[in-house]
Amino acid sequence: MSNKIKEFKNFSKADIIIICLFWVILAVALFGRAYRFGIVPGDINQDEAFAGYNAFTLAHTGKDSFGKSMPVYLVAWGSGMNALESYLAIPFIWIFGAKSWVIRIPMLIASCFSVVTVYKLFKTFVNRHVGLFAMFFVSVMPWHIMLSRWGLESNLAPAFLIFGMYFMLMTIKSRKYYIGAGLFYGLSLYAYATIWAVVPFIILLELIFVIVVRRKSEKGYKGDEKGFKYEIFGFVILLLLSVPLMLFLLVNKTDMEEIKLGFITIPKLLYFRGDEISLKKIPDNFKNLMNILTKQDDSLPWNFIKDFGIYYKFGFPVFIFGLVTVIVNLFRKFRERGLEFFLLINLLAGVVTGSLITVNINRVNLIFLPIICISAYGICALCNLVALIVLKLVGKDKKVRVSDKKRSNKNNTKENDENKASFKKLLPGFFLILPACIYMVFFIKFEKYYFREYADEISAYWCNGLSEACDFYKELDKDGNKTLITSRNVSYPRLMYYLEEPLEEYLSTVQYTNYPSAFLDVASYGRVNFYPDTNASPALHDGSTVYLADYSFVDTPLYAGLASAGYEYKQFGNFVMWY
C-alpha cells in the first residue's frame, strides 16, 4: 500500500488528468449501458429467452433444453444456438433466478470490458490521449450501446474477438500473453458460429505478423522467456476449445451420431444450417453489406435507430478517412504498426463474412468494433496533423514559447525543453476536445431518444409486461393445478424461461407442430397450450384455466368473451390476463 501511495505522489498533473478522464469516460460508458438495465429495451427477446432457459436448465440439471449433457452447441430451436452466453449466465441464474435482466448480465460485463480493452490497445500501441479518445468513441456509439443492453448470444463475439486481439498483440511485448490469446480466441468460437470460417485466418495472419516483428526486433521479448512454453500453452488451450467444435461440424455434416466425451455432448442437430455460405451469392451479399455499412440500416428496429444509425449518420465518411490513414501509416512503418494491421485484419474478416452469407447488423457484428476503432484512429490522426501545423506556424516546431524566463543557464534550458516536449504531447489532445464534444452532444440526443420514444416504440417487440404477467400466474398457480392458455405469438421460450419450467416435465410433455424442423414450434407442454381455438366461445369460469394474450388477440371471440364467462382480467404492459 505504501508503494502505491508513493507511486501516486510521483504522478504528474498530466497523469492525474488522464486517470480522472479514464474514470469519467468509463462512467459515461456504464451509464449508457446500465441505466434502466433490464427495463429498456422491453421485457425479453425470444432468442435471449431461449439462451436464458438453457442457462436455467444447465444450472439446475447440467443439461440443455433438449436434455443434452453440457453440449458444446445448444440444440434449442432444432437448428442450434451458440452456447457461450448460456454458460456465462449460469452463476447469475443461480443467484438471481430467471429474470429478463439476468440473461443480459454477461453481455453488459463483456461490453464494458471491451470498452476498457480498446483503451488499453490504443494506450499501449499509440499513446494515452488516443487511448482515451478511442475509449470514449466506443462508449458513445449507438451500435455498441444497443448491443450491450440485451442478451443476443451471438453479440458476445465482438467483445471476445477484441480480447483475443489485445492478447495476441501484446505477445509482441511478452510471450506470456499467448495464453490469453488462445483462451479468448477459443471462447469466441462458442459465441458465434458464423465467425468459425474467419477466426483461423485472423489468428494465422496476426501470428505471422508477431513472428516477423519478433525476428526483426533488436530488443526481442521482455524478461527471461527462453523456449516456447507460452506459445505451447496458448496453442493447447486454443486446441482444447476448438476440437469439440470440429467434432460438432463432423457429426452434423456426416451420418455420424452424437458423441459423448465424458459429461460433454457433441450434439446432432435436427437441422444443420451449414448451407448458408454461398460463393454464387458473393456479389449480392457484398452489396447488401455495403448498404448496411453506408445506410446504417438493416430494417430491424432492435439493431439500430433510424435517426442515429450504427455509428451516427455522419460516421461512414469518418470511417473512410480513418481507413485511408491506417493504410498509409501501415505502409510507412509496417513493423511498428501492429494495431493498425490487426484492425485491418479484423475488418477484412468482417467483409469476408458479409460476402459469404446474407447478413444483417447482428450477423456481421464482428465488423463494427474495427470500424469504430479505425474511425477513432482517423480523427486522432487528423487532430495530430492540425497540432503539427499549429506548432509549425507558432515557431517552426523549435521556438515555441513556454516560459518568459531567459535561458541563462543549462537548468533553464533543460526545463524549457521538457516543457516544450510536454506542450507538444498535450496539443493533439487539446484538439481532440472538439470532436469529443460533438460526439457527446449526439450521445446525449441518442440517450434521450433511446430511453423515451424508442423505449415505447420497441416495447412490443420485447413483449413488454410478459414477466409481470408470468409472475402473477405463478402466484395464482401455487397449487400447480391451473392450465395456461396463451396466444401462439407469445413464443414458447419466453414462457419456459419466466415460468422456470422444470426440464424433465417439459421434455416428457412437449408437443411440436412441425417436428423435425430448423425452427421448432411448440403447440403445448405441461399445462401450457399455445394454440387455442380463438373463434370458439369460452367455457364458464371454473377456476382451472388462466388465459393470456397480447393485444392482437383480445378482440377474437375466445378472448372477447372471457369477461362474460365470469373471468376477471388484469393488464400487464402489452398483455392481458384473464383468471
pLDDT per position as a tens digit, 439-488: 999 999 999 999 999 999 898 888 899 999 999 999 999 888 899 999 87
pLDDT value, residue 32: 97
Q: For the chain, what percent of residues have pLDDT higher than 70?
A: 90
Long-range contacts of 36-39 (CB under 8 A, 24+ apart): 36/451, 36/455, 37/101, 37/104, 37/108, 37/149, 38/99, 38/100, 38/101, 38/102, 38/104, 39/101, 39/455
Residue 216: pLDDT band (50, 70, 90) is low
Cα 187 from chain centroid (whole Å):
13
* Reported confidence tier of residue 412, pLDDT bands at 50, 70, 90: low
Mean pLDDT of 194-209: 96
User: Is 354 within 8 Å of 362 (Cβ atoms)?
Assistant: no
Specify the pLDDT at position 224. 46
Alpha carbon separation from 110 to 5, 35, 157, 207, 545 (Å, rounded): 31, 16, 10, 24, 42
3-state secondary structure of 538: coil
169: Cβ contacts below 8 Å, ≥ 6 apart = 121, 124, 125, 206, 210, 338, 339, 342
Residue 533 contacts residue 558 (beta carbons within 8 Å): yes
Using pLDDT thresholds of 50, 70 and 90, give the confidence band for residue 99.
very high
What confidence score (pLDDT) does residue 569 get? 92
- Identify the CA nearest to 14 among candidates 291, 429, 323, 357: 429
Neighbouring CB atoms inside 10 A of 213's CB total: 17
Q: Which of 10-19, 207-216, 392-401, 461-470 has the lowest mean pLDDT?
A: 392-401
Indicate the Cα dihedral angle 468, 474, 475, 480, nearest 10°.
Answer: 170
| Calpha distance 299→305 (Å, rounded) | 10
Q: Whole-angstrom distance between the N-terminal and C-terminal Cα of the chain?
A: 62
- What is the average per-residue pLDDT within 289-317? 95
| Mean pLDDT computed over 182-206 | 97
Higher pLDDT, 463 or 10: 463
Residue spans of the domains in the chain: they are 462-578
- Span 523-537, pLDDT tens digits: 999 999 999 999 999
Is the pLDDT score of 399 beyond 50? Answer: no
For cell 479518445, the residue is 133
What pLDDT score does 223 carry?
A: 45
Please say if the pLDDT value at position 404 is more than 60: no
Q: Output the nine-digit C-alpha cell for 425.
A: 504531447
How large is the C-alpha radius of gyration of the chain?
Answer: 28
